[in-house]
């Protein structure tokens, strides 16, 4: 027995199928092992060494089951081998897990062949292919599948897999709430079969697009589901390698809602819910484009509630807000659906009328609007009357652009205000000329101070009885190289609007006080001289005004009582909160306060008592009438008497004739100023003419 084995081994060593071994030697990525009838290794290629770790020398002569067969499989392997040898029962090729030299598992696909050599002994060859990579790939695939499943479940999105023709082959939905039909109804169907027309059309278009361009495409749509209108975003991807299309659908209702809210806030006024300035003007630009195409006229109405500020200040913002809401409703109720009402801000509204045939049509609508405000508003148990002024600009006559029309309607609105409010006015050519002039003045005024274009003239004021000079009023002058001489009545309101009045006003104070110092020194301080300076309401918004004046006075060594500040009722009506404080500070310091243009406003009397005035200037419109007109004479008489009873000094402005002067003297007017005595004149002339006569 023992000797037979040795002979066999010997024989085996010589029975080498050379060409076969040469072939196996050449392929070292596959393990090829040869075994004799006792399962001893007779061939072991490099591939076997790579796979199982044994070198050829280590393996040769060892038994199969002692090398690479795990203990649990040993008996089965031995049996299978003997069955093959004895009964010719082939061992089928299969995937099995063997082990390497270190005892680690090695997954292989193992095929086997049995040769019978010339000595009639059998040799089994095993050809093992390493399955490590395959196994890894398989494990990866399984992992990916699990991961995808987990992702699908975790994501609220809907996933549809469809063939190129749009037939749905698979879907994933973590919840079926957002599915338009039951899940089963999708499979085998196309989106176009199950979704409503418009949405289906969108899907079709985008599926075609993705197939043609091979790029991800996305679009939004909305569906009416039992829970309400739901907004979706669909993203479509072409899995061109697999001839399939992936559709990912996301519920974007919340996003949509917040975007809608933002849009709403950006485009609508939160109080009245009307389109805001931005949206209204955007609509106007759209309307203008369309109107041009259709050759139609468009009317732009600029509305401003009359004295709304007073309502707000006296009745409070709550009532003011309610009035604005009701006003906006009343405006809307008069208009057609295609017309737009917008709130420009504060108490300003805009109305856009399309397809306006003529001026007559626009005035009919405007009259309806004004009429609709005749009824009182009932708010918090109060009955309130509110009127408005409306300016109308019509395109194309009054402009083709949003800004031109808006500006022109605004100008016409101001015209309506000056006509006495509660009325309307069309924009006219004349207004256009005024506007052009205004724009030119505004343009030139920037930088005019730096270019030294401003200077002062002084109009002397005289003691009525003795006719000697007691001081002067500083009056601003502007000489511009382009516009020539511009008078203050024209440029001061513009300076007030642009805010330039603040630096310009400071310049006036500095100049006037410094001139007063010079004038006094030339006059050797024989008598008192005062300097009157006009102040605009907006100058009081500058918090540093008072301290600025103080600094200027002390810089020139002028006592405060030599300075007189002239203000008009406009300041007091402007309802600035701190106005009383500032005025009190000024007069407590000793500066005089003068009420200018008395009689031209509304309720001067009450202001005279409320604020610490020292001087009252009767407006020249009354003075010019006193010698002819009984009424004016009576007003002036009463004003002088009343002023004196309040302890105020009275100045008459605009004295142009000797008769007026005589009469004013008789009436007891303290001081006079006017062309009859002197026009406003330059510094030098004042010094020349009014230094000796002191």
Cβ atoms 504, 476 nearer than 8 A: yes
Q: Does 492 engage in binding with ligand C2E (CB under 6 A)?
A: yes
Residue 616 CB, nearest distance to ligand C2E (Å)?
Answer: 13
The 3-class secondary structure across 604-661, one letter per residue, is: HHHHHHHCCCCEEEECHHHHCCCCCCHHHHHHHHHHHHHHHHCCCEEEECCCCCHHHH
Binding residues vs Mg ion (CB under 5 A): 534, 566, 596-597, 653
Q: Does 210 engage in binding with ligand C2E (CB under 6 A)?
A: no
Which residue lies nearer to ligand C2E by CB, 304 or 566? 566
Q: Does 535 engage in binding with ligand C2E (CB under 6 A)?
A: yes
Which residue lies nearer to Mg ion by CB, 304 or 597? 597
> Which residue has tokens 């409010």?
421
Using DSSP, state whether 502 is helix, strand or coil: helix
Which does residue 674 bind out of ligand C2E, Mg ion, none, counting CB within 5 to 8 angstroms by kind? ligand C2E
Residue 297 CB, nearest distance to ligand C2E (Å)?
Answer: 40
Stretch in the footprint of ligand C2E (CB under 6 A) among 152-160, 208-216, 360-368, 673-681: 673-681
Of 487, 575, 580, 641, the one binding ligand C2E by CB under 6 A: 487
CA distances from 194 to 164, 167, 182, 198 (A): 17, 11, 10, 12
Tell me the per-residue interface mask from 494 to 533 with ligand C2E, x by CB under 6 A, - otherwise.
-----------x--x-------------------------
Q: Does 536 engage in binding with ligand C2E (CB under 6 A)?
A: yes
Residue 321 CB, nearest distance to ligand C2E (Å)?
Answer: 34
Q: Does 640 engage in binding with ligand C2E (CB under 6 A)?
A: no
Q: Does 608 engage in binding with ligand C2E (CB under 6 A)?
A: no
Which residue lies nearer to ligand C2E by CB, 327 or 536? 536
Per the structure block, which two tokens stand in for 222?
């909305």
CA angle 556, 562, 565 (to 5 degrees): 105
Which residue lies nearer to ligand C2E by CB, 343 or 617? 617
Considering only CA atoms, which of 361, 369, 368, 379 is closest in space to residue 311? Answer: 379
Which does residue 236 bind out of Mg ion, ligand C2E, none, counting CB within 5 to 8 angstroms by kind? none
Euclidean distance between CA atoms 548 and 432, whole angstroms: 39
Euclidean distance between CA atoms 490 and 282, whole angstroms: 34
Q: Does 399 engage in binding with ligand C2E (CB under 6 A)?
A: no
Q: Does 534 engage in binding with ligand C2E (CB under 6 A)?
A: yes
Q: Does 166 engage in binding with ligand C2E (CB under 6 A)?
A: no
Per the structure block, which two tokens stand in for 168?
């749905």
- Report the site for ligand C2E in 416-475 (rule: CB under 6 A): 459, 475
Per the structure block, which two tokens stand in for 194?
């199950």
> Which residue has tokens 């050519």?
429
Tell me the per-residue interface mask from 230 to 269 with ligand C2E, x by CB under 6 A, - otherwise.
----------------------------------------
Residue 417 CB, nearest distance to ligand C2E (Å)?
Answer: 20
Cβ atoms 226, 153 nearer than 8 A: no
Which residue lies nearer to ligand C2E by CB, 186 or 462? 462
- DSSP assignment of 58-122 equals HHTT-BHHHHT--GGGHHHHHHHHHHHHHH--PPPPEEEEEE-TTS-EEEEEEEEEEEE-TTS-E
Which residue lies nearer to ligand C2E by CB, 353 or 672? 672
Cβ atoms 604, 597 nearer than 8 A: no
Of 143, 278, 446, 675, the one binding ligand C2E by CB under 6 A: 675
Number of chain residues interacting with ligand C2E (CB under 6 A): 23
Considering only CA atoms, which of 47, 49, 40 is closest in space to residue 25? Answer: 47
484 DSSP 8-state letter: E
Which residue lies nearer to ligand C2E by CB, 36 or 596? 596
Residue 533 CB, nearest distance to Mg ion (Å)?
Answer: 9
Using DSSP, state whether 27 is helix, strand or coil: coil
Considering only CA atoms, which of 174, 169, 167 is closest in space to residue 148? Answer: 174
Which does residue 475 bind out of ligand C2E, Mg ion, none, counting CB within 5 to 8 angstroms by kind? ligand C2E
Q: Does 680 engage in binding with ligand C2E (CB under 6 A)?
A: yes
Stretch in the footprint of ligand C2E (CB under 6 A) among 47-55, 94-102, 335-343, 486-494: 486-494
Which residue lies nearer to ligand C2E by CB, 487 or 580? 487
Which residue lies nearer to Mg ion by CB, 69 or 456? 456
CA distances from 293 to 286, 287, 288, 340 (A): 11, 10, 9, 19
Which residue lies nearer to ligand C2E by CB, 276 or 536? 536
Q: Does 616 engage in binding with ligand C2E (CB under 6 A)?
A: no
Burial 76-96 (b: 16+ CB within 10 A, else e): ebeebbeebbeeeeebeeeeb
Of 28, 233, 404, 656, the one binding ligand C2E by CB under 6 A: 656
Of 251, 597, 632, 670, the one binding ligand C2E by CB under 6 A: 597
Which does residue 508 bind out of ligand C2E, Mg ion, none, counting CB within 5 to 8 angstroms by kind? ligand C2E
Q: Classify residue 416 as exposed, middle or buried by CB count within 10 Å of its CB (0-12, 13-18, 19+).
A: buried
167 DSSP 8-state letter: B
Euclidean distance between CA atoms 656 and 678, whole angstroms: 9
CA distances from 663 to 615, 628, 637 (A): 20, 11, 10
**Pairing of the two strands 424-426 and 388-395:** parallel
Tell me the per-residue interface mask from 555 to 594 with ligand C2E, x by CB under 6 A, - otherwise.
-----------x----------------------------
Q: Does 304 engage in binding with ligand C2E (CB under 6 A)?
A: no
Residue 474 CB, nearest distance to ligand C2E (Å)?
Answer: 6
Report the 10 Å Cβ neighbour count for 670: 20
Which residue lies nearer to Mg ion by CB, 269 or 566? 566
Q: Does 620 engage in binding with ligand C2E (CB under 6 A)?
A: yes
Which residue lies nearer to ligand C2E by CB, 352 or 623? 623
Cβ atoms 513, 556 nearer than 8 A: yes
Q: Would you put residue 355 in left (φ > 0), alpha (ψ -120 to 50) or beta?
A: left
> Which residue has tokens 């200037």?
617
Which residue lies nearer to ligand C2E by CB, 296 or 463? 463
Which does residue 536 bind out of ligand C2E, Mg ion, none, counting CB within 5 to 8 angstroms by kind? ligand C2E
Which residue lies nearer to ligand C2E by CB, 272 or 459? 459
**Contact set with ligand C2E (CB under 6 A):** 459, 475-476, 487-489, 492, 505, 508, 534-536, 566, 596-597, 620, 653-656, 674-675, 680
């Amino acid at each position: 027995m023992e000797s037979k084995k040795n002979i066999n081994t010997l024989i085996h060593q010589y029975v080498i199928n050379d060409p076969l071994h040469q072939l196996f030697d050449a392929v070292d990525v596959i393990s090829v092992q040869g075994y004799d009838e006792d399962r001893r290794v007779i061939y072991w290629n490099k591939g076997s060494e790579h796979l199982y770790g044994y070198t050829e020398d280590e393996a040769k002569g060892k038994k199969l089951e002692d090398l690479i067969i795990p203990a649990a499989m040993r008996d089965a392997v031995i049996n299978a081998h003997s069955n093959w040898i004895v009964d010719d029962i082939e061992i089928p090729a299969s995937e099995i897990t063997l082990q390497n030299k270190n005892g680690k598992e090695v997954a292989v696909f193992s095929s086997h062949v049995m040769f019978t050599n010339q000595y009639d002994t059998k040799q089994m060859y095993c050809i093992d292919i390493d399955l490590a990579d395959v196994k890894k790939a398989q494990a990866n695939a399984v992992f990916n599948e699990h991961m995808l499943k987990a992702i699908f479940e975790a994501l609220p999105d809907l996933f549809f897999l469809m063939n190129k023709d749009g037939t749905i082959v698979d879907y994933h939905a973590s919840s079926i709430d957002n599915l338009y039909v039951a899940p089963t109804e999708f499979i085998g169907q196309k989106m176009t079969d199950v979704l409503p027309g418009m949405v289906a059309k969108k899907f079709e278009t985008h599926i075609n697009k993705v197939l043609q361009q091979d790029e991800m495409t996305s679009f939004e749509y909305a569906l009416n589901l039992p829970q309400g209108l739901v907004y979706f975003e669909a993203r479509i991807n072409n899995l061109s390698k697999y001839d399939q299309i992936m559709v990912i659908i996301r519920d974007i209702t919340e996003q949509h809602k917040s975007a809608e809210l933002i849009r709403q806030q950006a485009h609508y006024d939160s109080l009245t819910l009307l389109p805001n300035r931005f949206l209204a003007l955007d609509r106007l630009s759209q309307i203008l484009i369309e109107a041009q195409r259709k050759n139609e006229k468009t009317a732009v109405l600029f509305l401003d509630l009359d004295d709304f500020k007073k309502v707000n200040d006296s009745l409070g913002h709550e009532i003011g807000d309610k009035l604005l809401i009701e006003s906006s409703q009343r405006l809307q109720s008069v208009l057609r659906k295609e017309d737009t009402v917008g709130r420009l801000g504060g108490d300003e509204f805009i109305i856009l009328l399309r397809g306006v045939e003529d001026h007559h049509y626009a005035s009919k609508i405007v009259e309806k609007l004004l009429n609709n405000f005749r009824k009182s508003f009932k708010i918090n148990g109060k009955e309130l009357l509110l009127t408005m002024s409306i300016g109308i600009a019509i395109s194309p006559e009054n402009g083709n652009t949003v800004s031109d029309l808006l500006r022109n309607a605004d100008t016409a609105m101001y015209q309506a205000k000056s006509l006495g409010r509660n009325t309307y006015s069309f924009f006219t050519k004349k207004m256009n000329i005024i506007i052009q002039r205004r724009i030119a003045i505004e343009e030139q005024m920037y930088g005019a101070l730096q270019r030294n274009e401003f200077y002062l003239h002084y109009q002397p004021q005289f003691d009525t009885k003795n006719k000697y000079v007691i001081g002067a009023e500083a009056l601003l002058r502007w000489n511009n190289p382009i516009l020539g001489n511009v008078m203050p009545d024209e440029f001061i309101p513009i300076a007030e609007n642009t805010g330039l009045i603040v630096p310009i006003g400071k310049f006036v104070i500095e100049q006037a006080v410094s001139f007063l110092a010079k004038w006094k020194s030339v006059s050797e301080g024989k008598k008192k001289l005062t300097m009157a300076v006009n102040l605009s309401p907006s100058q009081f918004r500058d918090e540093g005004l008072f301290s600025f004046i103080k600094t200027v006075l002390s810089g020139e060594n002028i006592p405060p009582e030599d300075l007189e500040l002239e203000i008009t009722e406009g300041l007091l009506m402007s309802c600035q909160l701190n106005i009383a404080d500032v005025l009190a500070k000024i007069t407590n310091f000793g500066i005089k306060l003068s009420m200018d243009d008395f009689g031209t406003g509304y309720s001067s009397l009450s202001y005279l008592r409320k604020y610490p005035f020292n001087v009252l200037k009767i407006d020249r419109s009354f003075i010019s009438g006193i010698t002819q007109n009984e009424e004016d004479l009576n007003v002036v008489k009463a004003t002088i008497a009343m002023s004196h009873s309040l302890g105020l000094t009275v100045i008459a402005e605009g004295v142009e004739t000797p008769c007026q002067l005589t009469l004013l003297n008789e009436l007891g007017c303290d001081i006079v100023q006017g062309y009859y005595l002197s026009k406003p004149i330059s510094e030098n002339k004042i010094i020349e003419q009014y230094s000796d006569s002191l």
